[in-house]
């Protein structure tokens, strides 16, 4: 089983950025209390995501079709880790007294990262 961390990282860059924003929101909660400031951050994130897609991601996937999600298949181990991770996440939510959204987001991001990193290239693409 090959752990393709580059594919997991490339695919989940937007999730990592969202996790970073969630962490910033937790650290600077007084700044985010103002709706105008919060909307500015969301707009900056949306614009940067669109720029990321059009400037980098589209050209990268044209040059490296093996990294497109449609050309990948999640392995059985990836599905097992996803199932166990989601059950762990639900268990943490169930037993937690506090609203620790940052921890839940970090666990969810790691689950998706490991699932994607354990995927493999479709056999049809290997033959090309």
Residue 94: phi, psi to the nearest 5? -70, -35
pLDDT of residue 112: 92
pLDDT of residue 79: 92
Count how many domains the chain has.
Answer: 1
Cα distance from N-terminal residue to C-terminal residue, the chain: 22
pLDDT of residue 125: 59
Calpha distance 22→53 (Å, rounded): 21
Q: By residue range, what is the domain housing residue 102?
A: 5-127
Q: What is the pLDDT along the chain (128 residues), one digit of tens a residue?
A: 788 888 888 888 888 888 888 787 777 777 767 778 778 878 888 898 898 888 888 898 899 888 888 888 989 999 999 999 999 989 888 887 777 778 888 889 999 999 999 998 887 755 55
pLDDT of residue 27: 79
Name the 3-class secondary structure at 100: coil
């Amino acid at each position: 089983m090959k752990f393709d961390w580059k594919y997991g990282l490339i695919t989940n860059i937007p999730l990592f950025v969202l996790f970073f924003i969630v962490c910033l929101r937790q650290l600077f909660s007084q700044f985010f209390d103002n709706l105008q400031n919060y909307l500015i951050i969301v707009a900056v994130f949306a614009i940067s995501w669109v720029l990321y897609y059009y400037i980098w991601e589209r050209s990268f996937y044209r040059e490296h079709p093996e990294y497109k999600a449609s050309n990948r298949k999640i392995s059985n181990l990836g599905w097992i880790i996803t199932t166990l991770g989601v059950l762990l996440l639900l268990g943490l939510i169930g037993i937690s007294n506090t609203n620790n959204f940052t921890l839940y987001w970090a666990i969810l991001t790691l689950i998706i990262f490991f699932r994607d990193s354990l995927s493999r290239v479709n056999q049809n693409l290997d033959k090309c």
